[in-house]
Amino acid sequence: MKVEVETLGPCKKALKVEIPQEVVDAAFKERYNKLKREVHIPGFRPGKAPISILRARFGDYVKADVMEKLFKEYYEKALEEAGVTPASEPDFQDVEFDEGKPFTFKVVMEINPEFELRDYEGIEIEKKRYVITDEEVEKFINRLREDMAEYQDKGEEPAEMGDLVVIDYEAFEGDTPIEGGKVEGATYVLGSGETVEGFDEQVVGRKAGDEFEVKVKFPEDHFNKNLAGKEVTFKCRLKSVKRRVIPELNEEFAKRFGVETVEALKEKARAQLEEEFEKRAKAEALSQLAEKLVEGYDFPLPESIVENELKKRIEQYETELRIKGVEPSEEELEKKKEELKEAVEKDLRLMYVLKKIAEKEGIEVTRGDIEEKIEDMAQRTNLPAEQLVGILQQTGRLQFIVEDILTQKTLEFLYEKAKVIEKEEVVGADEAEEKKEGSGEKEKEKEGSE
């Protein structure tokens, strides 16, 4: 076999491959001899049909079969001989194949970038050691109380901001009902921003059972085209009004979390916060490590890899905008693409650097790593692990999972080798200082009054 390598760019090469005629002819002969034993030709005993008749009847089939066999056998050898690995789907050109001739073809491919690793051990990074204040614990417990708030019927009392209301309404433009503007049993919290501006203010003060009209003007850019820019009258019936009741901080509340006293609940909250902030500190340190690791690398990247990653991020950006009811223009998308390009290239360089370090250090993704990741994802998505694996395989995302695991394992390895400097940071320090200052002012006032 003859292989010629042509450099077309920093990450692009072409291979011209020639498989000798004698190899091609031997492959054809072997396939026809096998075919002799497999088919029955009228007038000939099994295995005795002439090659010329087989060629006339099955020539196209044999040609395709031999070509596939030789390609599978020699393509990988050609890559190995040239010392290249395609970074994306290669482009096959100038294919010439027939019996009695050499098999020649050209492969144009993008390849993974070539670069020298710099020293990656002992990178200096800063890791925060978060100190949890009493104020932060109080905030955390208050959030728990907010989350466990219940709504109680207000009976004849009027609605206020923050109340949960159930309301029937129908929208009219003048006297004409608006298509799709009739809703029964709409449930939401007054003042939560779920309705058009000015609507909730006209519900406040109403009681359960009241029937009334609300008049508002919708903004021109409202996502519902039937309502955008229109002055609309809603004919409403308030079905129920409920106030939000936050549970008191007492032993009964503490017992909901498996402890007997408020103090025990505070200690449990502190421990949970410390765990969460430690995870945050580690994630921030790993992010900083990745930033420092990739600094100074400026090797070229395969264009198609950059374009594919940019495409994915732009699609994600489009989806996020459309969820908000915004239809992006081509000009906006092109501008966003330019903004994202630098970040994409940086992320890809980091990926290549980490892969090369993993290869050098023998860091691999094991079956156990994958199973652990899948199990974690299954718990978070409430899907059986087997079903999740099937979805990942069908969507081609399983390989991305493997790459993510390898990235994380390599960063963890580098973290162990890094020079980590801890820096204390007090969580809730600003609030604590404000309270302290406020308390001091009260003390001064007290002294003055005395």
Q: DSSP readout, 59-91?
A: HHHHHHHHHHHHHHHHHHHHHHHHT--BSS--E
H helix or E strand, kind and range, residue 300? none
The two three-digit tokens of residue 418, written as one number: 């890094």
Q: Which of 429, 423, 422, 421 is nearest to 132 (CA)?
A: 429
Q: How many Cα atoms are found within 13 Å in the side-chain-facing hemisphere of 108?
A: 8
Instruction: Name the DSSP letter for residue 313.
Output: H
User: How much is the pLDDT for 227?
Assistant: 81
Give the distance, in angstroms, between the CA of residue 381 and the centroid of all CA atoms in the same chain: 14
User: How much is the pLDDT for 109?
Assistant: 92
User: How much is the pLDDT for 258?
Assistant: 93
User: How much is the pLDDT for 358?
Assistant: 96
User: How much is the pLDDT for 54?
Assistant: 79
Residue 85's alpha-carbon distances to 12, 110, 181, 251, 272, in angstroms, are 11, 8, 59, 65, 47
pTM: 0.70
The answer to whether 309 and 347 are in contact (CB under 8 A) is yes
* Count of residues making up the chain: 450
Dihedrals φ, ψ of 344, to 5°?
A: -60, -45
For residue 421, list its beta bridge partners. Answer: 126
Residue with the two structure tokens 């009739």:
182
Give the distance, in angstroms, between the CA of residue 427 and the centroid of all CA atoms in the same chain: 29
d(CA 104, CA 97): 7
Instruction: Name the DSSP letter for residue 205.
Output: T
The answer to whether 289 and 414 are in contact (CB under 8 A) is yes
The identity of residue 222, as a single letter, is H
Give the distance, in angstroms, between the CA of residue 59 and the centroid of all CA atoms in the same chain: 50
Instruction: Name the DSSP letter for residue 209.
Output: T
The identity of residue 114, as a single letter, is E
User: How much is the pLDDT for 429?
Assistant: 52
Q: How many Cα atoms are found within 13 Å in the side-chain-facing hemisphere of 1?
A: 21
Q: What angle do CA 84, 89, 94 make, to 5 degrees?
A: 80
Residue with the two structure tokens 């031999």:
66
> From the CB of residue 349, how many other CB atoms can be counted at a distance below 10 Å?
19
The two three-digit tokens of residue 310, written as one number: 């940019």
Instruction: Please provide the distance, in angstroms rounded to a whole number, between the alpha carbons at the two ends of the chain.
Output: 103
The two three-digit tokens of residue 246, written as one number: 């936050």
H helix or E strand, kind and range, residue 277? helix 262-294
The H-assigned helical ranges of 88-210 are 134-147, 199-203
Give me the residues of the chain with pLDDT under 50, please: 431-450
The three-state secondary structure class of 208 is: coil
User: How much is the pLDDT for 433?
Assistant: 47
Contacts of 9 (CB under 8 A, 6+ apart): 300
Q: How many Cα atoms are found within 13 Å in the side-chain-facing hemisphere of 57?
A: 13
Q: Is 187 left (phi over 0), alpha (psi -120 to 50) or beta?
A: beta
Q: Which of 97, 82, 90 is nearest to 28 (CA)?
A: 97
d(CA 418, CA 226): 59
Beta-sheet strands, E only, within 35-194 = 91-96, 103-110, 124-132, 150-153, 164-173, 176-189
User: How much is the pLDDT for 43?
Assistant: 63
Residue with the two structure tokens 């489009």:
318
